[in-house]
Amino acid sequence: KTAMRIVEIMKVMEARHPVVMATRVSAEKSAEIQAALPQATYFEMARICAIQPSVPLAIRPGKLSILTAGTADLPVAEEAAVTAELCGFQVTRLWDVGVAGIHRLLSNRHVIDQSDVLIVAAGMEGALPSVVAGLADCPVVAVPTSVGYGASFNGLAPSLTMLNSCATGIG
């Protein structure tokens, strides 16, 4: 969509809802959107342009944690984190805790144990959601990313790994 089309949509939605988000927005488009809608905020890493209420939403119950296997997964994970925060959830972030450095994940076991929902983003072979689901007693949302080198096939390999996981609780 063009920036002006996004502006039109956001104006209509703003009249009906306190939070309006446009996702996958480039920095260039966000500048055009913010020129027309100065109340809009741009979250660069997440690539989200949003209009937020002047009074923050009530904090929703539950503990939501978002994990990434590597730093290349950050844009996808931040998109989830910012979306959740804009909807009133408190988010704990654990970045770069993949199986290549499993000690980083295990040293944060308390975060997994205290979470009500875990969102786990991973590229490459996509193994992290299975490992996390093996440690967790809550739902795990597995999110494949298209990053990685070797035979990740633009996200196909992690998608298949996540679909074939034998760990329970993965969606």
pLDDT in tens, 21-31: 999 999 999 99
pLDDT in tens, 51-65: 998 888 889 999 999
Nearest C-alpha neighbor of 96 from the set 65, 118, 64, 74: 74
User: Residue 79 above 80 pLDDT?
Assistant: yes
Contact 30, 58 (CB under 8 A): no
Look up residue 123 and give its amino acid.
G
Q: Any idea where the domains of the chain sit in the sequence?
A: 1-49, 62-162
Write down the pTM of the prediction: 0.90
**Is 62-162 assigned to CATH 3.40.50.1970?**
yes
Strand, helix or coil at 104?
Answer: helix
